[in-house]
A and B are shown apart, each in its own frame.
Chain A
Amino acid sequence: MALPPNVSPTDFEAALAAWRQAVGAEWVFTSDADIALYRDAYSPYWGEPEERVASAAVAPQTLEQVQAVVRAANQHGVPLYPISTGRNLAYGGSAPVYSGSVVLDLKRMNRVLEVNERNAYALVEPGVSYFDLYDHITKANLDVWIDPPDPGWGSVIGNALDGGAGWTASPFRDHFGSHCGMEVVLANGEVVRTGMGALPNSKSWQHNRWGFGPWVDGLFRQSNFGVVTKMGFYLMPRPEALMSATASSARDEDIVPMLDVLNLLENQHVVNGSTALFGGAAGPGPQSSAWTVTVPIYGPEEVVRAQMRYAKAKFTAIPGVNFLEGELFRTPLSPQALARVRLVNFGIPNLSTFAMLGRSPTNPQPAGGHIDFSPIVPRTGESVLEFKRFYNENLSKVSGGENLGILGPVYMTCWDRTLVCLIMFPIGRDQVRNAKIRAAFEGWVHLAAERGWAEYRAPAVFQDLVADTYSYNNHSLRRLRETIKDAVDPKGILSAGRYGVWPRHLRKV
């Protein structure tokens, strides 16, 4: 049996005994075969000494069991790494950031505690996936939509806490931004409810996120200050219709006015759907300089059509831009319509995104997994053109002159005012190739930081690297986070190293 680092066999045995008492022996995993299930299937260090692996796992089902597990870990100094559904693939999966931590697997906490149709919100536990919440709402015949990310098997809470995005209307696509109220277990086992939830017998926990006094919810995003055991989320009342259009231009420089129009329309909330930007690819041919923006609008049909006229007038005022209106889909979708839409845009979770990197005629021998470099760039045409040049100029250099199968850039417009410029890296079981991919990834992080760009989220093994780029004023933000970490988790037992925040005893001097 593996031991967590800096933990004596006596202490570990005592913690294991306390956990077995709290959650039942069958939910404490210590065998090699069971622990292997917690490995990160997309680890860039797969099979190498640097791979981040668990020493054990413990899976509580209730809040009280989480408290008991955390208290025992705190008492015996055992590092824990909470996961929700463990499907944070490409960002570490279900493996800990600090190797040897015990995974606190919250998948069994899978209750949908409330879905309120009249005020359009849900309250869920960490083990609830997008599929689970969708099924619950469908079975109860409630007229509200969820906002699924690409793969539907992830945790609603976990995705929000890691900073994930979805594909429906703008108020819901920032998953952390659309939450309302949390319940958190601190490292000493104490339970905190945030916002209006701090009021005993609160009637408005999921109605108002701010409550009274300093708002602390942000401290639990991409963090290691507590274990989130409940979270509320706003839902979208089913819109009557979705209509999409495309605006395109053959000229590279037209991206500047096109994005200005797109920004105006989104910031005016005329365009509220999940827009997309295609083009500018590094490939050869005249099409490589063409740009296409998709412009989806949700709402009542007559309102959508009026907003679309306004959007069309704005885009076609740019000389040379072609505006093409698409089909208007009324909801609920007919079976025929279901077959030809992108389901996530209609609040329907699925796994079709995995087809993109799976085995196919264009990819007969896929590597297996992937990781992404996803820096945040201002939503302007000048930034897009700069990033495109940056990518083309540096791809060969960071790849050591080899074709490593790197794909990019994909310009994500999931959040207003922001572009996420995604570069994808294949990850497999070939250690030599993985080492080259790691070097390329590190190269992109450094080169982007020189331009003032950095990631919003990163694979576990690169979280220190990325956190280091946020270095303004001699890393004052990191030092503030460390001060908080030491105060709320003095023994440093929770998710050491997550997003670059280490407890005092593990910090590099």
Chain B
Amino acid sequence: MKYVLLLMAALCPAAHAAGPDGKAVYEHWCAPCHAPGPGHPGTQSLQFKYQGKLSPVLLERTDLAPQVVSVFVRQGVLLMAPFRKTEITDADLAALSAYVTTHFKAP
């Protein structure tokens, strides 16, 4: 059920206009580490991890599933500690996952 909701969120972002704004969640919680360019440790880390095979910039990725976003947000990786539900609520996370996984389709 959870995944169905996440999928719906991914497919119909407009239907969730009244809920959390995935772009705002991304910009507050993710961009400080994952935005393009120097000074962003998440981007730096992924650059050395992927060595050009994939983009190190999250919003340039076209292969991420919402569940992948959820796993990294709630479990963390290396220096990135997990985010609690008082920081990113489940509703925020659904909106964030939808934004990150559909952003590339935006004109």
Which residues of A line the B interface, CB within 8 A? 27, 29, 33-34, 36-39, 41-42, 57, 59, 85-87, 89, 93-94, 105, 107-108, 127, 131, 152-153, 343, 350-355, 357-361, 364, 366, 368-369
- Chain B positions 33-53 with a Cβ under 8 Å from a chain A Cβ: 33, 39-42, 44-45, 48-49
- Within the complex, the shortest CB–CB distance from A14 to chain B, in Å, comes to 23
Q: Which residues of B contact A89 (CB under 8 A)?
A: 81
Q: Is B76 an interface residue (CB 8 A)?
A: yes
Q: Is B105 an interface residue (CB 8 A)?
A: no
Interface contact A351-B33, CB-CB below 8 Å: yes
Interface size on B, residues (CB 8 A): 22
Interface contact A107-B84, CB-CB below 8 Å: yes
Given A29-B85, A354-B79 in contact, is the A359-B33 Cβ separation under 8 Å?
A: no
Interface contact B84-A38, CB-CB below 8 Å: yes
- Within the complex, the shortest CB–CB distance from B56 to chain A, in Å, comes to 10
Q: Which residues of B contact A352 (CB under 8 A)?
A: 39-41
| Smallest CB-CB A-B distances: 5 pairs | A41-B81, A354-B41, A107-B86, A355-B41, A359-B45
Q: Which residues of A contact B86 (CB under 8 A)?
A: 27, 59, 86, 105, 107-108, 127
Q: Which residues of A contact B40 (CB under 8 A)?
A: 351-352, 355
Q: Which residues of B contact A34 (CB under 8 A)?
A: 85
Interface contact A359-B49, CB-CB below 8 Å: yes
Interface contact B41-A94, CB-CB below 8 Å: no
A-B Cβ contacts below 8 A, count: 80
- Residue from the list B41, B81, B85 in contact with A87, Cβ < 8 A: B81
Q: Which residues of A contact B41 (CB under 8 A)?
A: 351-355, 358
23 A-B residue pairings within 8 Å (CB atoms): A37-B74, A37-B84, A41-B76, A41-B82, A85-B87, A86-B86, A87-B81, A93-B81, A107-B84, A127-B86, A131-B32, A153-B32, A350-B32, A351-B40, A352-B39, A355-B39, A355-B40, A355-B45, A358-B44, A358-B78, A360-B45, A369-B78, A369-B81
Interface contact B33-A107, CB-CB below 8 Å: no
The answer for the CA separation of A507 and B100 in the assembled complex, in Å, is 50
Q: Which residues of B contact A107 (CB under 8 A)?
A: 84, 86-87
Interface contact B78-A359, CB-CB below 8 Å: yes
Which residues of B line the A interface, CB within 8 A? 28, 32-33, 39-42, 44-45, 48-49, 74, 76, 78-79, 81-87
The answer for the CA separation of A94 and B44 in the assembled complex, in Å, is 26
Given A152-B32, A351-B32, A352-B40 in contact, is the A357-B81 Cβ separation under 8 Å?
A: no
Q: Which residues of B contact A354 (CB under 8 A)?
A: 33, 41, 79
Binding site of B, secondary structure by majority: helix, strand, loop or mixed? loop
- Residue from the list A38, A131, A364, A368 in contact with B79, Cβ < 8 A: A368
Q: Which residues of B contact A41 (CB under 8 A)?
A: 76, 81-82
The answer for the CA separation of A152 and B28 in the assembled complex, in Å, is 11
Most chain B CB inside 10 Å of its own CB: which residue of A131, A350, A354, A364: A354
- Within the complex, the shortest CB–CB distance from A315 to chain B, in Å, comes to 31
Q: Which residues of B contact A38 (CB under 8 A)?
A: 84
Interface contact A37-B85, CB-CB below 8 Å: yes
Q: Which residues of A contact B42 (CB under 8 A)?
A: 358
Q: Which residues of A contact B83 (CB under 8 A)?
A: 37
The answer for the CA separation of A369 and B42 in the assembled complex, in Å, is 14
Residue of A nearest to B73 (CB): A37
Q: Which residues of A contact B45 (CB under 8 A)?
A: 355, 358-360
Residue of B nearest to A103 (CB): B84
Interface contact A361-B48, CB-CB below 8 Å: yes
Interface contact A359-B48, CB-CB below 8 Å: yes
- Within the complex, the shortest CB–CB distance from A114 to chain B, in Å, comes to 22
Interface contact A366-B79, CB-CB below 8 Å: yes
The answer for the CA separation of A38 and B79 in the assembled complex, in Å, is 15
- Residue from the list B32, B44, B84 in contact with A359, Cβ < 8 A: B44
Q: Which residues of A contact B85 (CB under 8 A)?
A: 29, 34, 37
- Within the complex, the shortest CB–CB distance from B81 to chain A, in Å, comes to 4
- Within the complex, the shortest CB–CB distance from A410 to chain B, in Å, comes to 18
Residue of B nearest to A40 (CB): B81
Interface contact A358-B74, CB-CB below 8 Å: no
Most chain A CB inside 10 Å of its own CB: which residue of B76, B78, B83: B78
Interface contact B79-A94, CB-CB below 8 Å: no
Interface contact A105-B84, CB-CB below 8 Å: yes
Q: Which residues of B contact A105 (CB under 8 A)?
A: 84, 86
- Within the complex, the shortest CB–CB distance from A109 to chain B, in Å, comes to 10
- Within the complex, the shortest CB–CB distance from B52 to chain A, in Å, comes to 14
Interface contact A369-B84, CB-CB below 8 Å: no
Q: Which residues of A contact B81 (CB under 8 A)?
A: 41-42, 87, 89, 93, 369
The answer for the CA separation of A352 and B33 in the assembled complex, in Å, is 7
Task: Given contact pairs A57-B84, A358-B45, A358-B78, enumerate 18 new A-B contacts (beta carbons under 8 Å).
Answer: A33-B74, A37-B83, A39-B82, A94-B84, A107-B84, A131-B32, A351-B40, A351-B41, A352-B40, A354-B33, A358-B79, A359-B78, A360-B44, A360-B48, A361-B48, A364-B48, A366-B78, A369-B79
Residue of B nearest to A151 (CB): B32
Residue of B nearest to A94 (CB): B84
Q: Which residues of A contact B32 (CB under 8 A)?
A: 131, 152-153, 350-351
